[in-house]
Amino acid sequence: MTYHPSFPIRDLRQWPDRKFIQPVWTANSIYHMIEGQASDPDGTGAIQKLDNLSNRKTAVAIFRAALASVDPCRLVQKHIPDVLDAYRRGNGQRLMLAAFGKAAFAMTRALAESPAGELITRGTVITKYGHVPGTLPDPIAVYEAGHPLPDAAGVAATGRLMAMLENPDPQTLLVCLISGGGSALLVAPADGLTLAEKQATTQCLLAAGADIGELNAVRKHISGIKGGQLAALARPARVLSLILSDVIGDPLHVIASGPTAPDNTTYADALAVIGKYGLEERIPNSVYQRLIQGREGTVPETPAKDDPVFADVANLIIGSNKLAIEAAAAKATAAGFETVVLTTELRGEAREAARWLAQQALAFQNQQPAGKKLCLVSGGETTVTVTGTGKGGRNTELALAFAEEIDGRPGITLLSAGTDGTDGPTDAAGAVVDGQTIARANARGLSSDAFLSRNDSYTFFKKTDELLITGSTGTNVMDIQVVLLT
């Protein structure tokens, strides 16, 4: 495995060993969700009606290996000793559980089935609709709610979670299992604001193309639980958060809007985001006025680094996109490819990222020795500025823009997919394309430019049978791109 010399990349080989595990097939792993049909043992039946091309199958296998490494059950199992140690060191009498995010169910199941599960006195799990594949033992309550837009179910579930934490004491250990999607699922509008106003604000930011850091800077300052406020609510109980990161660089204050982490953003930062995208008159006036009041000091700021509420709080990153990238690279190498990690911080507009990836692919292909197979791997999270009325997500938009850039070039295959199995408001994880994608579409009377102009990449790939459908994977560490050059 090598690393692209022209991009600032942290060497995967120097990451802490404790953050990585080798992909192993287990009965409780997430693989069964992407195995395809029974007649398709290699798992590529998850791609709808695709030609049985070896490069596409290999790309899916590499993606599966990446998912294996961030199986939330196994990641939590690895940290059960941390939970037990925290409980014993604090002379624990009660263990409460608060889990929220797309991987909340799987993470909770791992904890509940461990020795620490016997210590749980109360628990609340909030996850996305369709992300509850079974049941959990009493006394753990499970709730489903809306994502990416928060809904009334999320408000009700968060209210029950907050009620669970009434009258905490120093002998209580609160274990928080946090994963991507937590910002939308853990929802408690700040005093004076309504759910509808939070929804409208979130929708404006998403449509404008705000990245996750910008989105969460605003969310934290119109919430009664984000931005370290959950830690404040739990005090004087001790808090241990096990966190599956879905944010580039793994900043604690951004992941799920940092409910148990110090907030290094302010009301002024939130207003700067609103101003950057010209949303002052588009978001609800009540939200805008609250942000102004906060900047002026008439509304309390979220707790920052030196706040005493964090004296007994520990936040541990247990899995991330970096881990998935390493596993993908290892799988590609084992399959006989020379592997290059282009970046673990792919960001910006999906179409621009696609052009950059295509440029890298074409440059490597032009220098590719005869008979040598190359695999380029990248990870991160792009955004889409929505200007049309179509259906799609950042991965399908990236894949379609990439397909245009490599149109007519043989020997290039791209898989771009979200590790949670959901790409925007669709049932697809992403798409798989090659140098013939556009030609095949043209032969069917489909104009890729027209679909891109209306942000309708999902519909395009549904018509060309190139969607990657996995269903909910139970994990969430942003997106992965796999480019195969053969």
In percent, how much of the chain has pLDDT > 90?
Answer: 86
- Average pLDDT of the segment spanning 401-429: 96
CA-CA distances (angstroms) from residue 229 to 190, 247, 261, 301?
11, 20, 8, 10
| R_g of the chain computed on alpha carbons | 22
Burial class of residue 463, CB neighbours in 10 A (0-12, 13-18, 19+):
middle
Residue 138 has pLDDT above 70, yes or no: yes
Let me know: does 423 contact 395? Beta carbons within 8 Å: yes
Residue 21 has pLDDT above 80, yes or no: no
Task: Give the DSSP letter string of 200-234.
Answer: HHHHHHHHHT--HHHHHHHHHTTBSSTTTHHHHHH
Query: What pLDDT is attached to residue 51?
Result: 46
Residue 217 has pLDDT above 90, yes or no: yes
Query: What pLDDT is attached to residue 149?
Result: 87
Q: HEC profile for 285-345?
A: HHHHHHHHHHHHCCCCCCCCCCCHHHCCEEEEEEECHHHHHHHHHHHHHHCCCEEEEEEEE
Query: What pLDDT is attached to residue 148?
Result: 85
Query: What pLDDT is attached to residue 22?
Result: 28
Query: What pLDDT is attached to residue 381?
Result: 95
Residue 9 has pLDDT above 80, yes or no: no
What's the pTM value of the predicted model, to 2 decimals?
A: 0.83
Residue 373 has pLDDT above 80, yes or no: yes
- Give the integer Cα–Cα distance in Å for 450 and 473: 31
- Average pLDDT of the segment spanning 11-37: 28
How many Cβ atoms sit within 10 Å of the Cβ of residue 345?
17
Query: What pLDDT is attached to residue 50?
Result: 45
- pLDDT grade, residue 6 (50/70/90)? very low
| pLDDT per position as a tens digit, 280-312 | 999 999 999 999 999 999 999 999 999 999 999
DSSP state, residue 476: -
Q: Helices 195-208 and 212-220, interaxial angle, to 10°?
A: 160
| pLDDT per position as a tens digit, 325-364 | 999 999 999 999 999 999 999 999 999 999 999 999 999 9
Query: What pLDDT is attached to residue 133?
Result: 93
- pLDDT grade, residue 53 (50/70/90)? confident
Let me know: does 115 contact 85? Beta carbons within 8 Å: no
- Give the integer Cα–Cα distance in Å for 185 and 66: 25
In percent, how much of the chain has pLDDT > 70?
Answer: 89
- Average pLDDT of the segment spanning 201-223: 93
- Average pLDDT of the segment spanning 204-220: 93
| pLDDT per position as a tens digit, 441-463 | 999 999 999 999 999 999 999 99
Q: Which strand (E) or helix (H) includes residue 108?
A: helix 104-112
- Domains along the chain? 2-15+34-70+321-485 (3.40.1480.10), 73-188+223-265+302-319 (3.40.50.10180)
Query: What pLDDT is attached to residue 1?
Result: 62
- Whether cis (ω within 30° of 0) applies to the bond prior to 148 is yes
Report the chain's mean pLDDT, rounded to a whole number.
Answer: 90
- pLDDT grade, residue 2 (50/70/90)? low
Q: Which residue did the predictor score with more confidence, 442 or 24?
A: 442
Cα-Cα end-to-end distance for the chain:
17
**Beta-carbon contacts of residue 439 (< 8 Å; ≥ 6 apart):** 407, 408
State both tokens at 223: 């919430």
- pLDDT grade, residue 4 (50/70/90)? low
- Average pLDDT of the segment spanning 56-76: 97
- Give the integer Cα–Cα distance in Å for 434 and 26: 32
- Give the integer Cα–Cα distance in Å for 203 and 386: 11
- Average pLDDT of the segment spanning 129-155: 95
